[in-house]
Amino acid sequence: MNKITAAITAVGAYVPDYVLSNQVLETMVDTNDEWITSRTGIKERRILKDKDKGTSFLAIKAAQDLLQKSGTKPEDIDMVLLATATPDMPVAATAVYVASQIGAVNAFAYDLQAACSSFLYGMSTASAYIQSGRYKKVLLVGADKMSSIIDYTDRATCIIFGDGAGAVLFEPNEEGYGLQDEYLRSDGIGREYLKIDAGGSILPASEETVANKQHYVFQDGKTVFKYAVSNMADVSEKIMNRNNLSHDDVDWLIAHQANKRIIDATASRMNLDESKVLVNIEKYGNTTSATLPLLLSDFEHQFKKGDNLVFASFGGGFTWGSIYLKWAYDKK
């Protein structure tokens, strides 16, 4: 019997219609297009303007896109895993609602939160469920409504983040395609540098926390940038060395879209040609849990069966890692 690996067999995505461009941000905070573009690579981001819709709306749309394009029946899905840093509610798991709304009546579901590494960690989790042999179809969705936790008077953060969702389907494979290896890391030193102070068990919501804007994202940009550059590049190099991959062997770098300079530093450490480095940060900004699947969706038509993909991410906590995956299909 051949070894079972977990392969991605379908991809879906959704981004809201409203475009928040750098030019619009210039009217909101003291910044400009040249400054934002040169430091981040971001030109615009998508925002879910409807206040009555949350992360679940984005996730459902992405999942439905995947189901429609792949012809997958929702009742055949065994599990729905939602990678997100912005659940609809603090307690009721958003994944459960998403599963019910898409008709995945035979699936169990839960949320996974590791900041910007949530989807990467979710890939590891989904793969483990598939490789166990107990589950055949695991739907992994990465979705975030970052606009719900961003202070649009804070130019340090409001220029970076956007809303969006992407989804992938993991299924068993016996031909050697799918997830090959992973190198996942974390370090609690990051807790102070990228966080939301209030709303948790240490500092519950109060009039004071709302007045002090402690429910918005705080980021020490210089420190986070320094850690992200070194750690994302480090794990990407390690996954290549561990699997005897040269820069010629890697077909695509699927890197978290937080900052173009971080992506470039990672690609440089891997000695990759620019043509192999997938980037869409200029269109969406940092969509946190959605960046990796949005890349897969945008560039799916370029992937060939057997292509070597290296994923890399870095997020608050700190959390980071790299995954090596062999692509399993040619897009029809």
The catalytic residue among 116, 231, 259, 308 is: 116
Q: Which amino acid is at 286?
A: N
Nearest Cα to Cα of residue 287 among 155, 123, 118, 125 = 118
DSSP H stretches of helix in 10-136? 22-26, 33-40, 55-70, 94-101, 118-131
Q: Is 215 a catalytic residue?
A: no
DSSP 238-278: HHHHHTT--TTT--EEEE--S-HHHHHHHHHHTT--GGGB-
Q: Is 2 a catalytic residue?
A: no
CA–CA distance, 327 with 332 (Å, rounded to integer): 14
Q: 131 φ, ψ to 5°?
A: -65, -20
The catalytic residue among 22, 173, 286, 308 is: 286
Two tokens at 263?
């992506």
Beta bridge partner(s), residue 314: 320
202, burial (CB in 10 Å: exposed 0-12, middle 13-18, buried 19+): exposed
Tell how strand 5-14 and strand 163-173 pair up: antiparallel
Q: How far is CA 202 from CA 196, 198, 199, 205, 295, in A?
A: 11, 8, 8, 10, 36
CA–CA distance, 7 with 257 (Å, rounded to integer): 23
CA–CA distance, 120 with 184 (Å, rounded to integer): 9
The catalytic residue among 173, 256, 259, 308 is: 256
Around Cβ 305, how many Cβ atoms within 10 Å?
12
Q: Is 247 a catalytic residue?
A: no
> Which residues belong to the active site?
116, 256, 286
